Amino acid sequence: MASIKTIAKLAQTSVASVSRVLNNSGYVSAELRAKVEAAIAQTNYQPSSDARVLRGGKSNLVGILLPSIDVQFFGILAQSMEQALFDLGYQSFICSTAESAAHEARYVAMFLSRRVGGVIAASAEAGAAHFAPLRARGIPIVAIDRDLHGYASDAIVIDHDLGGRMMAQHLIDFGHRKIAVIGAPLHSQSIQRRLAGVRAALAQSGLEPVSQQLGKTHDFAQSYDLASRALANRPTGLIGLTDIAAIGAIHAAHDLGLRIPHDLSIIGFDNIPSAAFVLPRLTTIAQPIRHLGRSAAEMLHRLIIGEPQTLAQALPALTLIQRDTTAPPCAA
């Protein structure tokens, strides 16, 4: 098995320089780093993270907890975090929790046994006690997409309430008064906050949803069913609290013979890639998914190395992407 001395000999440098590359600490020129990385690849060298931690070093392993990775939003988020962490010298455990606190607790136990250097979590619960052992060991936690009150060292969370207000106001400004709302999963912090924003904007105009349908499962099939129930109340506008919900509504409306946006306007949230390719193309509120992932990775890195967080994270603003699914209601 290759050793750090073997790497140093192949790269024609010192053991100390190889160590700086492996630990991502101290200055190493780009040319020398390339030589060391080439030698590592040539020998298939695998550094022992456990030994490094026992010597008092920082682990290069990071745990990532996400509710699902087969949902486009979280898949993109996972990929952006993994790549940013890799560029910063870390290796990632990406764990899908199925929106389950019990699953999270088991993964947290695994993170502790593997001595991870930090954790990024989109948790199923705002204040889950199973994160306490991580905090007790001084392992930094960055909450993403959802708060983790009392346990996170810092957080990257957009203004979901504002996003909900933006969706509702877009339809109100077009003249819609009969507006339905659908979304899932119903326990999600982000869904609840968007819903609160929607209801607040409607209330300011003297309105309330003609139908509000929330489900447990965030997928197209459930969204189709939620939309079918909501459309029985004959809204002229429908708010999907995610793009998946909105796309499910497009299909449900089509099967009922409704023309979009002539008979029904639909707006979503996230701006996942599918939103621009479904027909008709979906109007949505875009959140900076990849920027969120990179920011979370960079924030965790600073926490791990003990660099002060001097400035609040500046995230790009939410943006309305006007496409083909919204228009003024058709006169009866």
Instruction: Compute the distance between CA of residue 5 and CA of residue 7 in angstroms, rounded to an integer.
Output: 5
pTM summary value: 0.81
10-residue mean pLDDT profile of the chain (332 residues): values are: 81 84 73 83 65 56 93 95 94 91 90 91 80 90 89 89 98 98 93 97 98 95 98 98 98 97 98 96 97 94 81 76 96 56
**Given this model, what pLDDT does residue 101 score?**
86
SS3 74: helix
Contact status, residue 53 vs residue 115, Cβ threshold 8 Å: yes
Co-location of 248 and 295 in the same domain: no
Co-location of 143 and 113 in the same domain: yes
Co-location of 174 and 259 in the same domain: yes
Query: How many domains does the chain fold into?
Result: 3
Residue that is written with structure tokens 């869904």 in the block: 191
Instruction: Compute the distance between CA of residue 272 and CA of residue 256 in angstroms, rounded to an integer.
Output: 25
SS3 211: strand
**Domain limits at 117?**
61-158+289-315
323 located within any domain: no
**Residue 157 Cα distances to 166, 282, 285, 299, angstroms:** 17, 24, 15, 12
Residues near 67 by beta carbon (within 8 Å), at least 6 away in sequence: 74, 96, 97, 98, 99, 122, 124, 185, 188, 218
223 located within any domain: yes
Co-location of 166 and 218 in the same domain: yes
Co-location of 174 and 117 in the same domain: no
Co-location of 9 and 68 in the same domain: no
Contact status, residue 288 vs residue 321, Cβ threshold 8 Å: no
**Given this model, what pLDDT does residue 6 score?**
87
Co-location of 154 and 299 in the same domain: yes
**Given this model, what pLDDT does residue 129 score?**
83
Instruction: Compute the distance between CA of residue 267 and CA of residue 45 in angstroms, rounded to an integer.
Output: 50
Pairing of the two strands 118-121 and 265-270 = unpaired
The CATH number of the domain holding residue 205 is 3.40.50.2300
Contact status, residue 176 vs residue 142, Cβ threshold 8 Å: no
Pairing of the two strands 179-183 and 237-240 = parallel
**Given this model, what pLDDT does residue 49 score?**
52
Co-location of 13 and 84 in the same domain: no
Co-location of 274 and 125 in the same domain: no
118 located within any domain: yes
Three-class secondary structure assignment of 242-301 = CHHHHHHHHHHHHHCCCCCCCCCEEEEEECCHHHHCCCCCCEEEECCHHHHHHHHHHHHH
109 located within any domain: yes
201 located within any domain: yes
Edge-first strand listing for the sheet containing 283-286? 211-214, 179-183, 237-240, 265-270, 283-286, 319-321
Instruction: Compute the distance between CA of residue 140 and CA of residue 134 in angstroms, rounded to an integer.
Output: 7
User: What is the residue type of 18?
Assistant: V
